[in-house]
Chain A
Amino acid sequence: MSFASIIIQLLNGLAAASSLFLVSAGLSLIFGVTRIVNFAHGSLYMLGLYGAYSLIEALGRTPLGFWSAVVVAALAVGLAGVLIEMLVLRRIYRAPELFQLLATFAVVLVIKDIALFVWGAEDLVGPRAPGLSMAVEILGKRIPAYDLLLIAIGPVVLGVLWLLLTRTRWGALVRAATQDREMVGALGVDQAKLFTSVFFVGSVLAGLGGALQIPREPANLDLDLSVIADAFVITVVGGLGSIGGAFLAAIIIGVAKAFCIGIGTVTWFGLEISFSKLTLVVEFLIMALVLVARPYGLLGKPQAVQRVAADPVPPLTAPSWSMALVWVMLLVGVPLVADRYVTILLTDIVCFALFAVSLHFIMGPAGMVSFGHAAYFGLGAYAAGLLFKRAGLPMEAALLVAPLCAGAFAVVYGWFCVRLSGVYLAMLTLAFAQISWSIVFQWDSVTGGSNGVFGIWPSAWLADKTTYYYLALACCGTGIAFLWRVLFSPFGFALRAGRDSPLRAEAIGIDLRGFQWAAFVLVGTLAGLAGSVYAFSKGSISPSTISIGQSTDGLIMVLLGGVETLTGPVVGAAIYTWLRDVVARHTEFWRAVMGGVILLIVLLFPQGLVGGLKALVFRWQERQA
């Protein structure tokens, strides 16, 4: 690589870093003050991009039209953020953090469908910036003038934010609330107004980040989750709540990506390495490295403990065997009366139930929230498919060996993850899931790339849908029962002790990290079993089984049912899978409907469905007494 092309790649990287920085700074600001991991932040970016596209069409492709469109789009997205805060989040600030997360997932679904409704499913390619469409020659290479402007915008926004945060009363309140928002309230500051203003600023930044990308990137409906993943990585690498850290991280990652594209395919020692294929993975590799070396990010500090008078997590109650027996008999009986369609749907539900229960195990009792649980589900599914198709294993053997493969990955990923806690841990799980996804997505010769693997059908004796349903029920039911049983073993007690008080648990001699690692491997293996059973039920697998969407589906299932009960995740998986199926048959906009339903549930039952029902029953019993 010549010196000139190094400079060009550097400039490319810096131009890309600007938008990444804007989005991440907004996310970081919002997280710092409200402690909400706003999954909808990527959706706001997407709205900014779409909004700018439409506004430029309306205002005309002149410099004035272009720049007014960018500014108006950013401000409009700011207002959208304010609406989200006032209508949804404000009502649930006192709810558990995970429930707020669920609400932001719902917002993601709703915004995606609003964008689909307004702008359609086709990618929209925006115009080049009027007046800046020429290229500037640097060292004999041409670089778009607009990119140079973008490079300047990043530091300018950083400077403005820095002034706002250090030179104004608003900034002092934001920084104070980041540390101890209850105290800020006791000093007479209206938190609701402060939160709304922070949401406005954060959303404007997301919208601006999107709007500025209009000449560089087509508006499309997949941006929401891909951008939120990027933004998570950058805030975590930079250190949560650190705007300067976000800037640094955006530059490192932007430049690293640009170089991966620029280097292309290189042959080292006879080994062909495709750096351009690394583009999708490189940021997650950087993140994994940074978090292992500096668990709070480059410029971050240990998270302040927010003082909220929260009740301790209630102890779990073991499900009664008689109830379980009734359910098993019902589930066994259903295919005798129902049609083929219901049987297939039930097979899905059974797989997702095990997936959700394994996720619940790790995020509830073990206290390690995973944003990337799809990794193990997807790896299990792919392992099953590849062992069957490529290695030629009999189906039965593939079905049973595949979970072990997923478990093997959990051994590696878990080793890194248990070194972290809280949001950092969650982000690292997301990173590993994305790494797995990118490998599956790009390794065409083995995994079939975006097409996936086809023709993974069960053996003849299992070909009948009803028979296969019984197999799924047996495998997943056993998996669920096993996980629940483990929770009431000394190992399960140790995990819960570690969740409630890590220091005390270690002080009485529990090797917490070792136990958490073991838990990681256990749930990874069982999620892999769910994936493996799922793969053979569908006959094909695609990269979506390992995507962020699959991970968030799992989270929605667990949180919908309620994280404080054992049966909650099963109920959540059943309701979500069934509802999605029903709604998707009637409308193209099933996501918006699901999102609406989830929002209703969040606002009405802040403890999840099963928890909410239990509370209702409890109140009714009290009234009777």
Chain B
Amino acid sequence: MLSVKGLHAFYGRAHILQGVSLEARAGEVVALLGRNGAGKSTALKSIMGLVPAARGEVTFEGRRIERLLPYRIARLGLGYVPEERRIFTDLTVMENLEVGRQSARGDAPVWTEERLFALFPNLAGMRDRPGGRMSGGEQQMLTIARTLMGNPRCVLLDEPSEGLAPIIVEQMAHSIRTLKGEGLSVLLCEQNLHFSQAVADRAYIVEKGQIRFGGTMAELASDSSLREQYLSV
């Protein structure tokens, strides 16, 4: 589905990604773990074309995408949910969804507003509310729903549990498992190990722009020294 090989990226002169390689297979939820500033978000942005890839390959469904503009990548069926949610605050819930709308893709699940309201029931009651007048959790749901309106095959999720109340985190985990059930692939960045364990099949650990570990969640769970070294604060 999505494969990244030796990806390098810069912010100004800072060398953020120093050869990241990872893979997300069809129907799989993969977590990208690491501390603050390890390069998780930049990895997702770079895959999406929002931060230019200096070197390396990104392949999505057999197509090289590292030189494409973000909108082309999105139209191939790769969805992106940003960390800061980036809701259009002047637009209503329905209008935010409209901006995300793309035509259906044969082999990807097709989303309508109604299906999304079933997935995130909180949103159903606030169709005409401006995005700026929603709580953090509601905005997080809306940003995911907005990306799903593009009917993607694979979604890049940047820190979906960040800053949310425990009960909402619970709901979010449930939603992600539903997406997996629909056959979507998910690559998510997380600092929250518990949340990742609840949703992911496999995990990578990033540290200083490089991948230090790749394996199943079970392998990560059994290796406490690994967690100690790369994840504990």
- Whether A188 and B91, one on each chain, are in contact in the complex, defined by CB atoms closer than 8 angstroms, is no
Which chain B positions have C-beta within 8 A of A179?
88-90
- Whether B86 and A175, one on each chain, are in contact in the complex, defined by CB atoms closer than 8 angstroms, is no
Q: Confirm or deny: A500 has a beta carbon within 8 angstroms of a beta carbon on chain B.
A: no
Q: Interface size class for chain B?
A: 20 to 34
Q: Confirm or deny: B63 has a beta carbon within 8 angstroms of a beta carbon on chain A.
A: no
**Residue in B70, B86, B89, B99 whose beta carbon sits within 8 Å of that of A172 in the complex:** B99
How would residues 61 to 93 of chain B score, 1 for a CB under 8 Å from any chain A CB and 0 otherwise?
Answer: 000000001110011000010100010111100
Which chain B positions have C-beta within 8 A of A182?
50, 70
- Whether B71 and A191, one on each chain, are in contact in the complex, defined by CB atoms closer than 8 angstroms, is yes
Q: Confirm or deny: A312 has a beta carbon within 8 angstroms of a beta carbon on chain B.
A: yes
B81 → A minimal CB distance (Å): 9
**Residue in B51, B71, B86, B146 whose beta carbon sits within 8 Å of that of A190 in the complex:** B71
- Whether B91 and A183, one on each chain, are in contact in the complex, defined by CB atoms closer than 8 angstroms, is no
- Whether A186 and B98, one on each chain, are in contact in the complex, defined by CB atoms closer than 8 angstroms, is no
CB interface residues, B 97-154, toward A, < 8 Å: 98-102, 146-147, 150
Which chain A positions have C-beta within 8 A of B96?
176
A470 → B minimal CB distance (Å): 45
- Whether B100 and A187, one on each chain, are in contact in the complex, defined by CB atoms closer than 8 angstroms, is yes
How would residues 187 to 198 of chain A score, 1 for a CB under 8 Å from any chain B CB and 0 otherwise?
Answer: 111110000000
**Residue in A180, A185, A312 whose beta carbon sits within 8 Å of that of B69 in the complex:** A185
Given A172-B98, A172-B99, A309-B51, answer yes or no on A185-B90 (Cβ-Cβ < 8 Å).
no
- Whether B71 and A185, one on each chain, are in contact in the complex, defined by CB atoms closer than 8 angstroms, is yes
Q: Confirm or deny: B12 has a beta carbon within 8 angstroms of a beta carbon on chain A.
A: yes
**In the complex, what distance in Å separates the CA atom of A183 from the CA atom of B82?**
8
**Residue in A169, A178, A186 whose beta carbon sits within 8 Å of that of B50 in the complex:** A186
- Whether B12 and A188, one on each chain, are in contact in the complex, defined by CB atoms closer than 8 angstroms, is no
- Whether A188 and B86, one on each chain, are in contact in the complex, defined by CB atoms closer than 8 angstroms, is no
- Whether A184 and B99, one on each chain, are in contact in the complex, defined by CB atoms closer than 8 angstroms, is yes
- Whether A183 and B86, one on each chain, are in contact in the complex, defined by CB atoms closer than 8 angstroms, is yes
Q: Confirm or deny: B48 has a beta carbon within 8 angstroms of a beta carbon on chain A.
A: yes
Which chain B positions have C-beta within 8 A of A189?
71, 99
B143 → A minimal CB distance (Å): 9
A193 → B minimal CB distance (Å): 9
Q: Confirm or deny: A622 has a beta carbon within 8 angstroms of a beta carbon on chain B.
A: no
Which chain A positions have C-beta within 8 A of B11?
309
Q: Confirm or deny: B201 has a beta carbon within 8 angstroms of a beta carbon on chain A.
A: no
**In the complex, what distance in Å separates the CA atom of A311 from the CA atom of B12?**
5
Q: Confirm or deny: A280 has a beta carbon within 8 angstroms of a beta carbon on chain B.
A: no
**In the complex, what distance in Å separates the CA atom of A319 from the CA atom of B159?**
47
- Whether B82 and A186, one on each chain, are in contact in the complex, defined by CB atoms closer than 8 angstroms, is yes
The residue among A178, A183, A309, A312 with the most chain B CB atoms within 10 A of its own CB is A183
**Residue in B13, B48, B88, B95 whose beta carbon sits within 8 Å of that of A186 in the complex:** B48
A116 → B minimal CB distance (Å): 39
**In the complex, what distance in Å separates the CA atom of A442 from the CA atom of B202?**
77
How would residues 481 to 509 of chain A score, 1 for a CB under 8 Å from any chain B CB and 0 otherwise?
Answer: 00000000000000000000000000000
- Whether A173 and B89, one on each chain, are in contact in the complex, defined by CB atoms closer than 8 angstroms, is no
- Whether B91 and A187, one on each chain, are in contact in the complex, defined by CB atoms closer than 8 angstroms, is no
Closest B residue, CB atoms, query A183: B86
Given A182-B50, A186-B82, A187-B146, answer yes or no on A169-B98 (Cβ-Cβ < 8 Å).
yes
Which chain A positions have C-beta within 8 A of B95?
172, 175-176
- Whether A180 and B86, one on each chain, are in contact in the complex, defined by CB atoms closer than 8 angstroms, is yes
- Whether B150 and A188, one on each chain, are in contact in the complex, defined by CB atoms closer than 8 angstroms, is yes
Provide a sorted-by-A list of 5 A–B residue pairs whose CB atoms are within 8 angstroms: A172-B99, A175-B95, A185-B71, A309-B50, A312-B12
Besides A173-B99, A186-B70, 13 other CB < 8 A contacts? A175-B95, A180-B88, A182-B50, A186-B71, A187-B74, A187-B100, A187-B147, A188-B71, A188-B74, A188-B75, A188-B102, A309-B50, A309-B51
> 6 tightest A-B contacts by CB?
A188-B74, A176-B88, A172-B95, A185-B70, A176-B99, A183-B86
